[in-house]
Amino acid sequence: MGKFQEKIYNHLPYPFKYILLNIKAFQNTKQRYTEAFDTYLKEYINLWNSNETTIKEYQKERLILLLSEAYQYSKWYANKMNDLGITLKSIEETPYDVLQKMPILKKSERKTNADLLVNTNRKTDGVGYTSGTSGSPTINYLDSESINRSFALWRRFHKVIGLDTKKVRQVRFSGRLMVRPDATKPPFWVYNYFERQLLMSTYHLKEANLIHYIKKINSFKPLLLDGYPSAIYILSRFINENNITLDFTPKAIAVTAETLYDYQRLEIEKAFNCHVFNQYASSEGSPFITECVQGNLHLNLDSGVFEFINTNGEKAKPGEVAQLVVTSFTNLKTPLIRYNIEDTVLLSEKERKCSCGCSMPIIEKLTGREDDILWTEEKGYVGRMDTAYKGLEGIVKSQIIQENPQEILVNLIADKKFDKKMQESFLHNLKTRLGENINYSINVVDDIPLGPNGKFDAVKRNFKIDL
């Protein structure tokens, strides 16, 4: 929905919310699932099981198309390429060399120059906004091919994890404001008839409301749960703590948009008796990284080119935490060429083949945004703080905030199991990972506010480090 539509939607009575949402859903369905979508889906399914040579040839063709269109129809990239002496001939002959000549596109440049970046040869068929984790969303122009291709890649992911490529009955947790923020009684959800989605609010997951969520999910019996892992984790913990038995078992749970931590995966899989599949994409149009049935994260090379830069600004080595620099084929209207998306991954220590049959490369973990990486003088760069919670009980929800290299603040919601002994163990775990010479403050609070677009930031660093 556009901003004006959302404003109207938020003030409507519940029955009218259902009507307005489904009008928009119908429009989206007509736009997303076309004959072109069917063609792209078949193309991507075939590529998933293709050999390395076929995949690399396809990637090269898509890269030539992207660079050629940017050269001819994007003011921003045309100026850069002309200054570098790049020509159409050099793009066609040596596209990867041309790519390496291009400067890295920063987030600030992407945000302030959206109208210069656009491909003027492609019709604008959609306008969206990024979730704005920094508090300032970025406009995103889309053409019909980009929309169709993105959804075809998403449906391929569904097929890979054992779901039908058609619309499956699903529960979705995202940052949309489904119902009034001050609602205290159900429904805390709206049904999207045309996508077979039960859209559940992430803003009302209070202790008193959780039983209503569980009852609704039990009656709906989704084949798929997807969305923010923090939201699904809250439900899962409630199910496990209260020994609730569900009346169904979903075929898959797919999480996205936030870092998935190991303790969240374990809790969710225990509650729903179902594997949790991780995936990475973005509303800006980044290439896809998706988990297969063997639990490995594959770089979808048919959706773009991935580069990995370490904390020293050099090409990352196996086993290092690396910053993602992406060149994407999923948004041809607003091209992303060597874009620093400010997300990080942990590279595998060894190159390995996956037994699932896909020959696309594997990475070890999705480690989150740059701001999820902490830094101390004693330990240097530290990512994935979920290991600090191992062996602890009583922590319902927790957020680690680093204001400066010498201060760590932890806000946490706790139950009666979080006693003095648990707090001492937690502090020991923090010191082991971040260092002894730091001022630690652990505060037990009643609530931890969600970030922009309903996301939960488990780790926040509020100062800049040179990554």
**pLDDT of 80:** 97
**pLDDT of 454:** 72
**pLDDT of 133:** 45
* 145: Cα within 13 Å, side-chain hemisphere: 13
Separation of alpha carbons 132 and 425, rounded Å:
35
Tell me which residue of 336, 323, 324, 345 sits closest to 278, measured CA to CA. Answer: 345
**pLDDT of 293:** 97
**pLDDT of 367:** 85
**pLDDT of 135:** 44
381 torsion bin: left (phi>0), alpha (psi -120 to 50), beta (else): beta
Separation of alpha carbons 10 and 13, rounded Å:
8
Tokens matching residue 249: 């078992």
**pLDDT of 206:** 87
Separation of alpha carbons 47 and 54, rounded Å:
8
**pLDDT of 6:** 64
Q: Per-10-residue mean pLDDT for the chain, 467 residues long?
A: 63 83 90 95 97 97 98 97 97 98 94 93 87 61 94 96 89 84 89 94 89 96 94 94 95 92 93 97 91 97 96 87 94 96 91 93 87 77 75 87 92 90 91 89 90 78 73
Query: Domains of the chain by range and CATH?
Result: 3-370 (3.40.50.12780), 373-461 (3.30.300.30)
CA distances from 416 to 210, 264, 400, 433, 445 (A): 19, 20, 21, 26, 13
Q: Is the dihedral of CA 195, 164, 63, 320 positive or negative?
A: positive
Instruction: Name 310's Cβ contacts closer than 8 Å, sequence gap at least 6.
Output: 316, 317, 320, 321, 322, 323
The structure's pTM equals 0.85
